[in-house]
Amino acid sequence: MKLPFFLASRFVAGETLDESLPVVDDLNQDGLHVALDKLGEHVHEREEALAARDAYIDLIRTLAGRDGTEDLRNRISIKLSMMGQLIDEDFCEDNLRQLLEVAAEHDLFVRLDMEGSALTQSTLNLFEAVYPDFPNHVGPVLQAMLKRTDRDIDRMCERGVSVRLCKGAYAEPEEIAYQDMSRIRARYIDYMERLLRHTDGSGIATHDDQIIDATKAFADRRDIGTGDFEFQMLYGLRRTTQREMAAEGYNMLVYVPYGTEWFPYFSRRLREKRENVWFVLRSLLKG
Ligand SMILES: Cc1cc2nc3c(=O)[nH]c(=O)nc-3n(C[C@H](O)[C@H](O)[C@H](O)COP(=O)(O)OP(=O)(O)OC[C@H]3O[C@@H](n4cnc5c(N)ncnc54)[C@H](O)[C@@H]3O)c2cc1C
């Protein structure tokens, strides 16, 4: 059974790119950068992976051709499991390279979303394989909840790689992941400080005021300019705060997902926060 899209519309810009582009324009007009993500994951058929690659390439061309791209650094965010990672890593790397060629041609940055821990090493391997050829156009995501992230942060800092840091949206076992929120937050703040010191343009992806305040205070203390990093939030969450932070002079990027495959993303948002369930219930009552 397919659920009606309006349930997800608080968190997902549209089911098609055409429906979602006005959302990008509105966000840009409010001074917010955008990362567009065509939803989809865990593809097992080569044809589907090739179609995903082509859709991402079209997306790059469409975004690059739009006004506002010059000063607002719009970009895309992709999941490698959509481009053949689960079929064959070489095939996936080939698809990723083709996509990055087009991204580099248009000077557009491609962020590799991080999925569940079964894919962490493979995602970082693929990142490492392409990074030397596209150092300005590709960057990974690291999850503060994973115990291995301490080492991964060091590796990225050594080379000044732009990282998106987030807590981690997937349920992971305690052998490999911290479960306690105050511990995850403390790890997050430590990694944030390392990234701000050693990399340019890393993304502090969170809605958590304690982390946001710690980031602002650290940047102030260390004289790190607001242009040297960015905050990132998800479409539909903390909308007023996003605009307030942009008005304060911070780079604020909004992650905007779209597409028909919205259900897994939507359910991750519902699991994360009771408030998100309320948004959906309210839209049901209105509908
Ligand atoms: C741009 C972006 C990209 C992401 N990419 C990935 C990815 O590639 N892989 C991945 O695993 N995960 C990703 N995530 C999800 C991330 O890992 C977390 O699951 C998600 O962001 C929830 O954690 P949080 O730090 O935002 O705050 P939470 O842990 O949800 O909330 C912590 C505190 O923040 C405050 N807060 C949160 N929301 C609100 C609100 N709406 N209003 C007021 N206060 C609020 C509250 O005080 C709350 O107690 C991404 C998140 C963002 C923002």
Structure tokens given for 179? 């479960």
CATH number at residue 174: 3.20.20.220
CB of 208 shorter than 6 A to ligand 1:
yes
Q: What separation in Å is there between the alpha carbon of 5 and the centre of ligand 1?
A: 22
Question: What pairs with residue 37 in β-bridges?
Answer: 257
164 is catalytic: yes
pLDDT one-digit tens code per residue, 169-188: 999 999 999 999 999 999 99
The residue whose C-alpha atom lies closest to atom 35 belonging to ligand 1 is 208
Give me the number of domains the chain comprises: 1
DSSP run (H or E) holding 230: strand 229-234
DSSP 8-state secondary structure symbol assigned to residue 228: G
Q: What separation in Å is there between the alpha carbon of 167 and the centre of ligand 1?
A: 7
Domain that residue 258 falls in = 5-286
Residues contacting residue 190 through CB under 8 Å, at least 6 positions apart: none
CB of 167 shorter than 6 A to ligand 1:
yes
CB of 166 shorter than 6 A to ligand 1:
yes
pLDDT for the residue 244: 97
pLDDT for the residue 1: 59
In the block, residue with structure tokens 């076992």 = 173
Residue of 208, 244, 282 to mutate, ligand 1, most atoms within 8 A of C-beta:
208
Averaged over 129-156, what is the pLDDT? 98
Share of the chain above pLDDT 70, in %: 95
Q: Mutual orientation of helices 274-286 and 263-272 as an angle, nearest 10°?
A: 120
Question: What pairs with residue 263 in β-bridges?
Answer: none
Cβ distance 36 to 43 under 8 Å? no
| Residue in 164, 185, 187, 269 annotated catalytic | 164
pLDDT for the residue 262: 86
Amino acid found at 233: M
CB of 77 shorter than 6 A to ligand 1:
no
pLDDT for the residue 66: 76
pLDDT one-digit tens code per residue, 178-232: 999 999 999 999 999 999 999 999 999 999 999 999 999 999 999 999 999 999 9
pLDDT for the residue 285: 66
Q: Is the pLDDT of residue 136 over 90?
A: yes
pLDDT for the residue 278: 74
Averaged over 128-156, what is the pLDDT? 98
Averaged over 128-135, what is the pLDDT? 98
90 is catalytic: no
CB of 210 shorter than 6 A to ligand 1:
no
pLDDT one-digit tens code per residue, 55-88: 999 999 999 877 555 567 799 999 999 999 999 9
| Residue in 37, 113, 187, 269 annotated catalytic | 113
- What average pLDDT does the structure give for the chain? 93
pTM of full prediction above 0.85: yes
How many whole angstroms separate alpha carbon 92 and alpha carbon 172?
25
